[in-house]
Structure 1
Amino acid sequence: MSFATVAAISVLTASCAAVDPESVSDSAGMTIGTGVPVPAAGETAAVGTQVRDAADDPEIWADPRDPSRGVIFGTDKQAGLYVYGLDGKDRRFLPEGPLNNVDLRDGFTVTGREQVLVGASDRKRMGIAFFLLDPDSLNVTPWGVVPVQVSEPYGFCMGRLGGDTIAVMVGKDGDIAQFTVTAQDGKPNLILTRTFSVGSQSEGCVIDDATGTLFIAEEAKGIWRYNLDHKSGSARTLLAGAPSEILKPDVEGLTLLREGAKTYLLASSQGDSAFAVWRVDGPQADYAGRFSVVGGAGADPVTGTDGLAALGGPVGAFPEGLIVVQDDADTDGEAASTVRTRQNFKLVDWRAVKAAMAIN
């Protein structure tokens, strides 16, 4: 280690000692990650909560009738839910309290009208906070909170199985509750279908509607694959273990990106600010590699990454797909930082990922 490196670490340590520990990024000690570099294509405005761990999980919706129209959701786990345009600009903030993870499914009928159902894990009201997105006006309204029995609402994902809309709540201790979501008298209703335990602290989850698969990230141990059918109980297979050269704990957000007949699973490797990618539409998961988001388009690199979302096909200005990832330490310009003054979400062009990783 060079004298300059030692001096830099000493300065960083001294500066961190004088500030709130919450202002020290999860990515302290690293700048950008160790995957192949992919430049950011844009970013959202920072969430309103400053100098604390706040921005957590994004989700994307693009109008299938006109994919230039759509929104990005982003949670501030200290304060509520942000609604951004597909360009990352603020549209609205819903001060609904500490919401952790967010997901959605469109085509959900409420009082005879199809809307986009949005759900988020609510850590204060100990349940799922539901919202309705009007696909015509893009207006988002709170729909109601339904309590759930888990250790602490943490991870959350939604899916479809047959004609049912499914919600999965991941408790912080790794306890899982799965529900069927219905509209009852114009209000959200949950029907519990199964519970099981992952084993230890877990958060990220995502559902592949096409194959009926539930993926869950156990933060210190890796990614598990479950059958979404509640009759399968707790049977599972390990897709990728951690710690490893692919996943450096904590293993955080999970998302799926569909491109024609191909489906890719992306996972946040928070321990080294990178994203691992597998193709998962076949009987076995095929590992494709890892990437990290470096500075670009005026946005700084992504460090200490947490939640992420992806949507394939045309999405706003991204003709083949958009990825949105949480950045633990947002700064002005394209230089990295390990001081958490504010947090936001970075936008990544799927074409750039494919080119960097030689994905055909």
Structure 2
Amino acid sequence: MTFSIRNCFSFASVLASSVLLSSCASFESDAPKMTVGAGTPVPVSGETEPVGTLGDDAADDPEIWADPADPSRAVILGTDKKAGLYVYGLDGKVRQFLPEGQLNNVDLRDGFEVDGRRMVLAGASDRGRMGMTLFLLDPATLEVRTWGHAPTAVSEPYGFCLGRRGDAFIAVMVGKDGDVKQYRIASAAGQPQVTEERSFRLSSQPEGCVVDDATGALYVGEEAKGIWLYALDPAAPAEPRLIAAAPSEQLKPDVEGLALMKDAAGTWLIASSQGDSAFAVWKVDGPEPVYRGRFSAVAANGVDNVTGTDGLAAHAGPIGAYPEGLLVIQDDLDTDGEALTAPQRRQNFKLVDWREVRRALGL
């Protein structure tokens, strides 16, 4: 099916203010009990301001864009699944907030043409409107605007990722009941055109997914079972391959966010092992995935530990003060040494220098 969509949303951008909190009471996260630092410790280097929704599980998934010509010009996108999309600078400060409601996972791809202009296409699963919401990031200004919304026939929009297959831009929508649909995204007269090209199903709840544009690989995380490898090509055989099982020594359910890091040493698949606040790493540019270890993001530089991660993103190469790459990771409970009451619970995104991961795991 094909949808041609008129943009029905306001383009207003609301700057979010930072939240100043203090309390003498303590608070325990409602996430499952977990061991902090179950992987090899890697120091956190920075963090974003928290998302605006307090007292709830709100921050979910980040994505990163940097100008290839000037990697000091970069932004981080992060979802508040109760309220909308945040745009942060690398200093962690809020640049924009787009109040688009219940957005869950976000992803982006460069080089998308709209009315003769090259833009950055971003998209997010939209649980409130049962579909995907699409955005355009202007590389000249680093401003993000809502482009449109498309309904998607999945059980409940949950996971989401974008990819490239040749000149085609592909969106993968992961439903909460295990149903997955794949779409082509194009611009028609300046408006989004969304065409379904295939569907498949997992046996239980999935969420995280990531596409390797170079190889045509689609990785999907099934929360209680592990990581599956599919071909992005809809004409390829639909039978997937389980490349990492859960529960296992590598992955403690839930299996959550997935990201790919491509550096001079190869292509690395990174998965959030939410059950023990760790991240498993595989080298995936050879004939078979090779497991290389686990790390946890631990308190450093005045920033607290990362626990119970939902989503994560990776950017290879120079970006701001990170000469070899950057990870951005959702943190289930942002404390920075403070004691919080339940209504004050806050969540944000932590920054990790890729050099520290390589050093810790010997990559």
- What TM-score, normalized to structure 1? 0.91
Q: 1:129 to 1:183 in 2, by over 3 A?
A: same
Aligned equivalents of 1:289 and 1:165: distance in 2? 32
Query: 1:54-69 counterparts in 2 under 5 A?
Result: 54-69=58-73
Query: 1:275-314 counterparts in 2 under 5 A?
Result: 275-314=279-318
Contact residue 308 and residue 323 of structure 1 kept, 8 A? yes
- CA deviations over 1:86-134 (Å, ceiling 9, x no partner): 2211111110001000000010000010000000000011111011000
Q: Which residue of 2 aligns with 1:19?
A: none
- CA deviations over 1:26-84 (Å, ceiling 9, x no partner): 15x34523100001000000000001000000000000010110100000000000000
Query: 1:69-84 counterparts in 2 under 5 A?
Result: 69-84=73-88
1:127 and 2:121 correspond: no
Q: Which runs of 4+ in 1 moved over 3 A?
A: 335-340
Q: Which residue of 2 aligns with 1:272?
A: 276
Aligned equivalents of 2:340 and 2:26: distance in 1? 13
Query: 1:1-360 counterparts in 2 under 5 A?
Result: 24-27=29-32, 29-30=33-34, 32-260=36-264, 262-333=266-337, 341-359=345-363
Q: Which amino acid aligns with 1:101?
A: N
Contact residue 25 and residue 304 of structure 1 kept, 8 A? no
Where is the helix percentage greater, Structure 1 or Structure 2? 1
Q: Which residue of 1 aligns with 2:11?
A: none
Q: Which runs of 5+ in 2 are unaligned?
A: 1-24
1:320 deviates by 0.2
Identity within the alignment, %: 64
Q: What is the RMSD of the two structures over their aligned residues, measured on CA atoms? A: 1.7
Report how many residues are paired.
338
Stretch deviating more after TM superposition (338-347 or 82-91): 338-347
1:344 deviates by 0.3
Aligned equivalents of 1:62 and 1:351: distance in 2? 18
Q: Which amino acid aligns with 1:292?
A: S
Q: Which amino acid aligns with 1:199?
A: S
Q: Which residue of 2 aligns with 1:4?
A: none
Aligned equivalents of 1:337 and 1:222: distance in 2? 34
- CA deviations over 1:173-197 (Å, ceiling 9, x no partner): 1100001111112111111110000
Q: Which runs of 5+ in 1 are unaligned?
A: 1-13, 17-22
- What TM-score, normalized to structure 2? 0.90
